[in-house]
Structure formats: C-alpha cells, structure tokens
Structure 1
Amino acid sequence: MKKSAIISLKSYNDLDADDVIEVVTPGEFIVTDDGFKAIYEETELSGMGGTTTTLTVIDDSLLLEREGNVSAKMDFKKGETSISLYNTPYGALDLQIHTEDLNVDINENGGVVTAKYLMELAGQPPITTKLSVNVRTN
C-alpha cells in the first residue's frame, strides 16, 4: 500500500550541537510485506539535488539508501557496526557506522525512527550523530 506523506528528518552531531540539519519534504510511504519504506527527493538546499533517498524499516533495523548524484547505503542496527561507501560528485568516502541506539515506532499510518550512531571517516575520530525521522501520512 502506497500513501502520500510528509517526511521530516533532523540530524545533529557532537561537533556542533547548534548545527542542526532539518529537512521537511513531501514523499511516499509504502507498507511492504516485511516493513515500511519512506521515499523522497533530495533538494539543492541539502547539497544532494538529483538524489532519491529511500528509508527502509524492517523490524528493528533502518536502511538508508541514496541514489543519484550522491549514492550511499547505510545500515543501522542497534549494537552493530557497518561499512558504507558514500559516493559524491567530489569522490568516494569510506564510512564506518556503529549504531549505539535505534528506536522504531512505526505502523501503517507512519511514525518515528530515531538513531544515535558513531560515524568514522577514514580513520578520523568518530563523530556521534543523532538522526530522527518522522513520517506523517496524508
């Protein structure tokens, strides 16, 4: 089942807690046999124009996939570490993501997913990031 939705994402990290990135955009919310998907188009304001983002929630996991000018596949599972190749127009980056916490409260009408994770880029000290996704169906 596919529904129109308003998708709100908020992200901030421990480098600058006042630097909050927040995006509110129309998109689609899809109920699948094994979970949920939220799909939206990135804008030029996000620096990722020409990119489609798909958030897939299955049980207690979140998969963030970007395709287009920017491509990435980031897996979030509480207590687990994943490796992601993040391709940008400026080059590719290797990201290591350790999910410290993941809360999923979502159903066929939308909901909220929050994640707290450590992101490490090419051996640099890890950055703690918090991500909140809110999906409201129309």
Structure 2
Amino acid sequence: MKQQVQVKIIGTQKDAQGEENVIELVTEGTFFKKNGKYYVIYEETELSGMEGSTTTLKIDGEDRVNIRRFGSAKADMIFEKGKTYSTGYETPYGLVEMNITTHRISVSVKEDVPEIFLKIQYRIKVMGSEDTMNILDISIS
C-alpha cells in the first residue's frame, strides 16, 4: 500500500580544505514496500539543483541503499558500507564519472507508521578533481 510521506534531507559536503556546504530539502513523497524492500519516491526541486528529476530511494536491509534519479539529472548511486561503486551522473552539462565509497550507513525503519531514518557517510571522487566527504541525513515520516 502506497502512503504519502514527508521527506527531509540534509546533505553536508566537506571538501579537502575543510570547507563545508549544507543543503536542506523538505518535500512530499510516496512510500511503499515491495519484495521486502522499502521505496520512497519524490520530485526534486529547484533548491536541489535537479528540478525536473524524480528520485527513488530503495532501502535494501540495514546496510544497502540505492538512490536513482531520472529526468533532467540521471544517476544510479549505490551505498553499501565498506564498498566502492563507480557510476556516472548525467547532467544537462554532460556526464560526470565518479566513485562512491560508503564509510558508514545507518537505517532505522518503523514500517507501521511509516517512519524511516537514514544516515549515510560517504566519499565521492569525481574524476579530475579532489574528493569530498559527504553525509546524508534523511528522515521520512
């Protein structure tokens, strides 16, 4: 059964010089469970810089999260503790190749409410530039 939820995302990015950038997004989304996995779908806004894109969070247990974007920005990012995944991020300006290494991941799901809390700490290495440390704090209720 699909349910309407509020999605709050706080993204923190820290570069090699220690400079920090924080973006917060609050939007409406849809939550459902399918084949033992949890899904949240929401529309990106101008604030995120990906207006015209739809994002799907797929929560696969306590140690794996997949974020897929379709539309003006396209990406398929996998977060799994201790693993590195290579992916492309397609923007209106071209394709960006990057590696994502997940250092920590925390998933808490209360299915009956629904209420989900995700915290993902990861490093992104974009080809040709310095890597950044990132933290995603996502709450869904």
Structure-2-length-normalised TM-score: 0.91
Q: Structure 2: how far apart are the matches of 1:63 and 1:102?
A: 12
Q: Is the 8 A contact 1:35 1:57 kept in 2?
A: yes
Q: Is the 8 A contact 1:52 1:66 kept in 2?
A: yes
SS of the equivalent of 1:45 reads helix
The answer to whether the Cα contact below 8 Å between 1:48 and 1:70 also exists between their aligned partners in 2 is: yes
Q: What is the alpha-carbon root mean square deviation over aligned residues?
A: 1.0
- The residue matched to 2:118 in structure 1 has which SS? strand
**Which residue in 1 is equivalent to 2:11?**
11
* Aligned with 1:115 (options 120, 127, 131): 120
| Alignment map for 1:1-138 (pairs within 5 Å) | 1-15=1-15, 16-17=19-20, 19-59=21-61, 60-108=63-111, 109-136=114-141
- Contact 1:28–1:40 under 8 Å retained in 2: yes
Indicate conservation of the 8 Å contact 2:25/2:47, yes or no.
Answer: no
- Specify the code of the residue in structure 2 equivalent to 1:112: F
Name the count of aligned residue pairs: 135
Residue identity opposite 2:11 in structure 1:
S
Equivalent-residue separation in structure 1 for 2:87 and 2:110 (angstroms): 27
Measured against aligned partners, the alpha-carbon deviations of 1:81-113 in whole angstroms (never above 9, x if no partner) come to 001110000000001000000011113112101
CA distance in 1: counterparts of 2:6 and 2:67, whole angstroms? 17
Where structure 2 has 5 or more consecutive residues not aligned to the other structure, the ranges are: none
Comparing 76-85 and 31-40, the one that deviates more: 31-40
Extract unaligned runs of 5+ from structure 1.
Answer: none
Amino acid at match of 2:102: T
TM-score by length of 1: 0.93
Structure 1 CA distance for aligned equivalents of residues 44 and 128 of structure 2: 28
Offset at residue 46 of structure 1 (A): 1.8
Identity level (%): 33
